[in-house]
Structure 1
Amino acid sequence: MSESKTDVTVHPDAEHPEKFSDPGLPSHRPRQADIDPKADKRAERQVVVLFLLSVIGTIVALWAYFAVRPDGTTGGVRTSTLTLGIAIFFALAGIGIGAIHWAKTLMNDHEMVEERHQARTTGETREIAVKKLQDGIKDSGIGRRGVLKGVVVSALALFPLTIAVPLISSVGGDWDVSKFRDTLWKKGTRLTYDPTGRPIKASDVTLGSAVHVIPEVTEEYRTTDEWITEKAKAVVLMVRLDPRDLNPPAKQAGWDYDGIVAFSKICTHVGCPVALYEQQTHHLLCPCHQSTFDVAHGAKVVFGPAKRPLPQLPITVDADGYLVARDGFDEPVGPSYWERLK
């Protein structure tokens, strides 16, 4: 790299220099592919391989979407998601790394300098810009590299299928939103600890505690695939406050039992589990997007993107002192959807 002196123009009273002379550009260092035809061909083959990797990744992603379907179990969902995710990664990475390697090894790397000019351009300037774009296309060498051109076009054309096919295939699927209107909670259903299923007595719930709750079901039902889906809709977070701190909306008055209140654990924003309880403020926090609900005031939203309170489960005790539901939720649980205004 050549050295050059820098001239500085300074006013007598100026604290900083006003103008520096252009130091120029360092001498150009040719790449191996610029001087060795074998290296140039090798670089081209490497780029072709990377874009072929993208094509293969797209094909595997499409295969995985149809062949490796979730079977309702945790392991099945994990396998399907992992296979599809890895395939899409290679489909995207092949395009990205291939484009970078192409630019670094095959395209012109000579330094270019353009003087600053006004932002407003003339017709002549636009013509020059179009000419430079055309020169860039010519310089990329894609016109004379047939294999490279074919694999690039194939990768870019096929990759959108990894997104389009799942979207198109979902048309005509199960859009029955009424499934979210009802849960396993019914009048008289006992509240039990999650995950053991042991019934909860009101005397077991201490002041300030937060308990993760599921409805009582038979042991046989807990082994079915249906239980996984129904449990996901019915999970509840129960908290015990001083009854004097409760100030619920009028329609929810009396839905607690001696300061014990129970709310759906599913955030009304996008359905994340609301599981962080702050005892001093009586706030429930959703860890995903920080929606915050005030338990003392009917779980109303006090912060964050959620638009409606958490649905409350009205509770009481049975003859044996166990906490039971007075009824199911009075509204659908979970995030809002197109049938809801909020």
Structure 2
Amino acid sequence: MSIETSKEGADLERFPVPDPGIEEHVERWTDADKAAGDRVYRQVVLMLGAVPVLAIAFVVLYFTIPRNSSVTILGLHWDATTFLLGLTGGLATLLIGLACIHWAKTIMGDEEVAEDRHAAASSAADREVFAAEFAKGAEQSALGRRKLIGGALGGALGLIAVPAVVLFADMGPWPTAETRKRTIERTIWAEGVPLVNDVTKQPLKASDLEIGQLVNAQPGTLWDHHGADFQIEKAKAAIIIVRMDPSRIKIPESRKDWQVGGILCYSKICTHVGCPISLWEQQTHHLLCPCHQSTFDLGNSGLVVFGPAARALPQLPITVDANGYLIARSDFTVPVGPSYFERDSTRDFKEGDR
């Protein structure tokens, strides 16, 4: 068997179907008709030019539409912010895609090529070919003759990022000292606010609490709030009330008037990552967090005795009214909940503080 015959057999095995070759080229309508090509050119520029307008409209709508407004379309009620921001942002993104497809199909070079599949690794010669083909593609893109498309595409891609950047504002307010003071560093507890059972909403009388008892409670003013505001205030103001034998607990001089006959009140929110706490050990006066086992000694100003929490549990100053019902003396003196970088920890209670 000759070498030539062997090669033919190998090629037949590798390529069992004859190569049909490249079909006869049919001139594209935009190439045959210059006026049609110019029309497509204007359409692409128009679509890309509309993107910056829509991006700016997105930003304007974001800051001007009231958050509780709505629109009615075909009898259906839509949130105005969601609808209009989705319309402008989505249409801007769609126009970029449509413009690029229209550009590629009707203006870019229209030439059919075929090449054999090659190895994944590129040789130096292949890279040179790639560079040449890239230059050829750049020439075929017609940007040299129709430069406005390049500028419009660059402007569209640049400004389409503006709505995404603006949406970062929805991650929350900038944590300035004033913002923190008005939000996460305050609760609705205040002087005279009654302590009520968080289930029955009934005021709690000091004389009704027994030694060893723990009660989950909320401020009596909580139900004056509604919707998201209700949930936010509830999450921050949640408390636990415990009664212990005054002779078996440590009450620092600075907190003598924060308790009533061994009744103390603490935040229910763990200072580690904010889990609600209510696992109460009566004999040791320890309160355990179920998430990461941080343990606080409620018989010693809520100090951490075990676990990852780094701060004592905030204590709420309480007293009683003329009828013997428990009321708050003030808000918490330190922010409740987990720590954060901007938080001032110099006021936190520590072992040895008076």
Structure 1 partner of 2:221: 216
Alignment equivalent of 1:116, drawn from 120, 127, 134: 120
Matches within 5 A, 1:227-242: 228=229, 232=233, 235-238=236-239
> In structure 1, what residue type is equivalent to 2:52?
V
Residue 137 (structure 1) aligned with residue 138 (structure 2): yes
Partner SS state of residue 116, structure 1: coil
- Of 137-146 and 44-53, deviating more is 44-53
Residue 331 (structure 1) aligned with residue 334 (structure 2): yes
CA distance in 2, matches of 1:23, 1:299: 81
Identify if the C-alpha distance between structure 1 residues 322 and 59 changes in structure 2 by more than 3 Å, giving closer, same or farther: same
Structure 1 partner of 2:58: 61
Partner SS state of residue 312, structure 1: coil
CA distance in 1, matches of 2:277, 2:91: 37
Structure 2 partner of 1:318: 320
Identify if the C-alpha distance between structure 1 residues 147 and 302 changes in structure 2 by more than 3 Å, giving closer, same or farther: farther
CA distance in 1, matches of 2:203, 2:187: 18
Cα-to-partner distance string for 1:136-193 (whole Å, 9 max, x where unaligned) = 333444444556445323312322443567889x9x9976244454444345532347
Q: Identity of paired residues, percent? A: 19
CA distance in 1, matches of 2:303, 2:82: 34
Partner SS state of residue 338, structure 1: coil
Equivalent pairs counted in the alignment come to 293
Identify if the C-alpha distance between structure 1 residues 57 and 243 changes in structure 2 by more than 3 Å, giving closer, same or farther: farther
Residue 37 (structure 1) aligned with residue 29 (structure 2): yes
Structure 2 partner of 1:12: none
Deviation at 1:58, TM superposition (A): 0.2
Backbone CA RMSD of aligned residues: 6.3
Identify if the C-alpha distance between structure 1 residues 341 and 210 changes in structure 2 by more than 3 Å, giving closer, same or farther: closer
CA distance in 2, matches of 1:25, 1:55: 51
Cα-to-partner distance string for 1:312-341 (whole Å, 9 max, x where unaligned) = 343656355644346533422466143558
Structure 2 partner of 1:189: 193
Deviation at 1:283, TM superposition (A): 3.9
**TM-score where L is the length of structure 1:** 0.52
Cα-to-partner distance string for 1:77-100 (whole Å, 9 max, x where unaligned) = x75566445533433444356546
Higher Cα radius of gyration? 2
Contact 1:58 1:87 (C-alpha < 8 Å) held by counterparts: yes
Structure 1 partner of 2:73: none
Identify if the C-alpha distance between structure 1 residues 88 and 267 changes in structure 2 by more than 3 Å, giving closer, same or farther: farther
